[in-house]
Every structure is written in structure tokens, then in C-alpha cells.
Amino acid sequence: EADIYQTPRYLVIGTGKKITLECSQTMGHDKMYWYQQDPGMELHLIHYSYGVNSTEKGDLSSESTVSRIRTEHFPLTLESARPSHTSQYLCASSEYRTDTYNEQFFGPGTRLTVL
Amino acid sequence: KNQVEQSPQSLIILEGKNCTLQCNYTVSPFSNLRWYKQDTGRGPVSLTIMTFSENTKSNGRYTATLDADTKQSSLHITASQLSDSASYICVVSDRGSTLGRLYFGRGTQLTVWP
């Protein structure tokens, strides 16, 4: 089991609330990622980071923002949640490797429901 | 467009039986292909990873094959158990970026009945 944690595991909130989804890893990995996954659909990359003070947007446009102040911590924030943000959010991390085995380790996910 | 297609979309088998899941991809340039197992409400967990030079890899009762020429992969599960019920996701990585971008299939939902 990978040492990557996400909190909360489940969150139900009302429209307009600000939320932060937490992600931490204890493996010392430089790269971290946020994915969004709807039921029965593929994972979509929404944010990633190469290391401290590095953040990039992924393939899927998202109104969320991320920060990377510490290596082990990669929180995701929604300033004003809407029902369209209802989804599962998965955090992942990987070490920086120059070979082809760039394995990503996933956290358990946060199931977000916006009413 | 880089894509990963999986079949079947869902599968029901009886405990103890074998099954094979399929994955076709168009990702180029190809770096590696992984199979992940995702339990309901959990994050994906890696089962196998193969580069273009590897055509088979096993992990216990799971055996993955790769044909880089036809861009096809399969995951064979032997002597299925109830705990094998999960979504199995095929993921292909390209060689074209330092990010090692991953392309995900939608998964095959496997249900094992007693």
C-alpha cells in the first residue's frame, strides 16, 4: 500500500462554499498529480506539480487551484463549489525517474458532492 | 488523438473461473503500459507495468500480455476470487514528455459471483 493520504474521504457541501481537499505523501516524491473521475469514466488530469513551487494545469479544464509549498503536501482548493464539481478527486505521486518506469501511486480519493 | 479502449465494459464470472480483459491503444510514442485495479471508492493500485520490449508479465494470478506491433494488451485473471471484483484500468504512458503523461481507459468492471 502506497503512503499517500487524502482527506476528507467524503464531503457533502452546499453551493458557493470554499473547500480544500488535502493530499499528503510520505515517499519524498517530487511529482504530484490531481485527477478527476466520474463514475464509469476515465481519469482526467486536472493539475500536476514537478516539485516545490511548481504547479501546472492538466488536460481537463478545472476551476480549482493547487499549491505546492512543501514536497509532501499538494492541496486542491475550490473557491466556490458548484454542483458541476461533484466528482471523485484522486491524488497521485511519483518519483522523478529518467527511465520509463514512471509509476504513479494513488491516494484513496475524495468523493465530493455539491448540493 | 491518443486513446485507450477497453473491452468488455463489464463482465460477470463465477468464482474460480478464468477471464481475460482487453486493451487497445493508439498512444504514440509508446513508453509503457500498466494495468491498475480500482476497488469501488478507492484509488487505483498497480498490478503490472510493461515496456515495449516486454510481452508478458505476471503478478500472482494476474498475467498481462503486450503486443506492441498491434498495440494490444490483455490481462488474464486465473482462478478468480470474490476479492477480484473491481474495475481494471489499462493505462498507457507516452515517451514524448518529461511528465510521462498517462492515458487512461474507462476500465472493465469485473464482478465475481460466489
* Chain A, nearest residue to B43 by Cα: A108
Residue-wise DSSP of A28-84: --SEEEEEEE-TTS--EEEEEESSTT--EE-SS--S-EE--SBTTB--EEESS--GG
Task: Count how many pairs of residues, chain A against chain B, have C-beta atoms within 8 Å.
Answer: 57
Per-residue pLDDT reduced to its tens digit, B48-72: 999 888 899 999 999 999 999 999 9
C-alpha B87 chain-centroid distance: 9
> Regarding predicted confidence, which is higher, A99 or B91?
B91
* Per-residue CA distances from A9 to A81, A83, B22 (Å): 17, 18, 31
Name the β-bridge partners of B66. Answer: B73
Let me know: does B112 contact B80? Beta carbons within 8 Å.
Answer: yes
**Segment 69-88 of chain A within 8 Å of chain B by CB:** none
Looking at residue A70, the DSSP 8-state letter turns out to be B
pLDDT of residue A101: 66
Cβ-proximal residues to A77 (8 Å cutoff; 6+ apart), any chain: A18, A19, A20, A21, A64, A65, A66, A67
Contact B102 A108 (CB under 8 A): no
Residue A8: other Cβ atoms inside 10 A: 13
pLDDT of residue B81: 97
pLDDT of residue A45: 93
pLDDT of residue B78: 97
Query: Rounded to a whole number, what is the distance in Å from the CA of B114 to chain A's nearest CA?
Result: 24
pLDDT (tens, 9 = 90+) of chain A, 115 residues, equals: 559 999 999 999 999 999 999 999 999 999 999 999 998 889 999 999 999 999 999 888 788 999 999 999 999 999 999 999 999 999 999 887 656 567 889 999 999 999 9
* Separation of alpha carbons B20 and B15, rounded Å: 14
pLDDT of residue B31: 85
pLDDT of residue B41: 84
